[in-house]
Amino acid sequence: SVVSGSIIGAQRSDNGSYVCKLNISGVEVVSDPILVQLEGLPHFIRQPEQLNVTRNSTFNLTCQAVGPPEPVEIYWFQNNIQVNQEPHISPSVLTVPGLSKPALFSCEAHNSKGLTASSPGQVNIKGIPSAPVSVQVLNRTAHGIRISWVPGFDAFSALNSCSVQV
């Protein structure tokens, strides 16, 4: 007799090895395994991330995508302008020698089925924080003072200390 099966709406998670098991008069018979591999557009594992970097300092961005089918080729874009003329094979690390102003980075992953575009990653330039606002005296005594303030814009660099001058 012939036994068949089907996977409706196959997805990448259905990839793997399958066997057919039959129970004939209490005896289990197992077929040889078959490998199911769903091919399609590349799927991103890592995309360019948002970074805050020091002006004119080297930094790296990573883009990684998988098939099948392989190979997956990566093209990089800075402010929607293609960076590399020759493709990188995934995973790809883009070394940027430094920026003087913010930029948007993205990548495209290509395989024989087509291409997938990544989400963009904004790269900001760290700067000097803005002055605090809403400085108020909350309490004043002969030997002390309690004040409050709202920190200014951090210029993409975490504030780690604050000093008060009297």
- The tokens describing 44, both together, are 């991103």
Residue 163 backbone dihedrals phi, psi, to 5 degrees: -120, 145
Is a pLDDT exceeding 80 seen at residue 6?
no
Q: Which range, 13-22, 100-109, 138-147, has the best average confidence (pLDDT)?
A: 100-109
Distance CA 115, CA 92 (A): 16
**Where is pLDDT greater, at 8 or 61?**
61
pLDDT digit string, tens, across residues 56-91: 999 999 999 999 999 999 999 999 999 999 999 999
Is a pLDDT exceeding 70 seen at residue 106?
yes
Which pLDDT score is estimated for 15?
83
Give residue 8's identity as a one-letter amino acid code: I
The 3-state DSSP class for residue 59 equals strand
Distance CA 35, CA 29 (A): 19
Is a pLDDT exceeding 90 seen at residue 23?
no
Which pLDDT score is estimated for 80?
97
**Where is pLDDT greater, at 125 or 23?**
125
Q: Which of 40, 60, 107 is nearest to 80 (CA)?
A: 107
Tell me what the pLDDT averaged over the chain comes to. Answer: 92
Distance CA 93, CA 25 (A): 58
Residue 113 backbone dihedrals phi, psi, to 5 degrees: -90, -15
**Where is pLDDT greater, at 30 or 76?**
76
CB neighbour list of residue 51: distance below 8 Å, 6 or more residues apart: 59, 61, 121, 122, 123, 124
pTM for the whole structure: 0.76
The 3-state DSSP class for residue 12 equals helix
The domains of the chain, with CATH numbers, are: 43-125 (2.60.40.10)
Give residue 166's identity as a one-letter amino acid code: V
